[in-house]
A and B are shown apart, each in its own frame.
Chain A
Amino acid sequence: KQEVTQIPAALSVPEGENLVLNCSFTDSAIYNLQWFRQDPGKGLTSLLLIQSSQREQTSGRLNASLDKSSGRSTLYIAASQPGDSATYLCAEYGQNFVFGPGTRLSVLP
């Protein structure tokens, strides 16, 4: 059974810090890996998608990397802002998406 874990479960940082969120997966045959943001009471918003043939993707202050051999992905957020406060979920896609439980991020002003 495919499993996705995320560490840490929660993280609180002061504004301006750079931070890394971790995602581990067991499926070695993933098609792609995706990072989502979820605000309270809302649905999921896609942030970055990494195809299995790629190593990383960047969008603004966000950078996601993928290492299939170790079953890991990281989401790097540079110069964090209070507006980045949300829950971040990763999901790997083999036949279907399998989601991690998420990391709840709080960026303090």
Chain B
Amino acid sequence: NAGVTQTPKFQVLKTGQSMTLQCAQDMNHNSMYWYRQDPGMGLRLIYYSASEGTTDKGEVPNGYNVSRLNKREFSLRLESAAPSQTSVYFCASLSSFRPGNQPQHFGDGTRLSIL
């Protein structure tokens, strides 16, 4: 019962390099999300996908792109990494809002450092 799986767990990049963060969920959830978490701040939404085939910008989308490859997978791409994108990135998926359920399931995060 894997839940939400993120790869890689750690990554160091040089300024200007590109990379893709991968996320997959096995719970048949419709909605998926990418967040970043910086020290002293809550999670901030980068992009989300309400359903397969749709993506929308969140609070901090600049410098990122996303792809909802299928219902299971939602990837986040940094085209030209900048030091300001050093952060911990979390992927999450959403089930339903019935009381007692756990609507958002999170991966363990990708720790990204950009030099």
- Chain A interface residues (CB < 8 Å from chain B): 4, 31-32, 34, 41-46, 49, 51, 54, 57, 89, 91, 93, 96-102
A101 contacts B90, C-beta separation under 8 Å = no
Interface size in chain B (residues, C-beta < 8 A): 25
- Chain B interface residues (CB < 8 Å from chain A): 4, 33, 35, 40-45, 48, 58, 90, 92, 97, 99-109
Partner of B90, one of A31, A44, A51, A93: A44
Residues of A within 8 A of B104 (CB): 34, 44, 46, 91, 97
B99 contacts A43, C-beta separation under 8 Å = no
Contact of A42 with B48 at beta-carbon distance under 8 Å, contacts A34-B103, A54-B99 already known: no
The residue of chain B having its C-beta at the shortest distance from the C-beta of A53 within the complex is B99
The residue of chain A having its C-beta at the shortest distance from the C-beta of B99 within the complex is A51
Contact of A99 with B42 at beta-carbon distance under 8 Å, contacts A34-B104, A51-B97, A51-B99 already known: yes
* Extra pairs beyond A46-B103, A51-B99, A93-B97 (15, CB < 8 Å): A4-B42, A34-B103, A41-B109, A42-B108, A46-B102, A46-B105, A49-B97, A49-B100, A51-B97, A91-B42, A96-B45, A97-B33, A99-B35, A101-B40, A101-B41
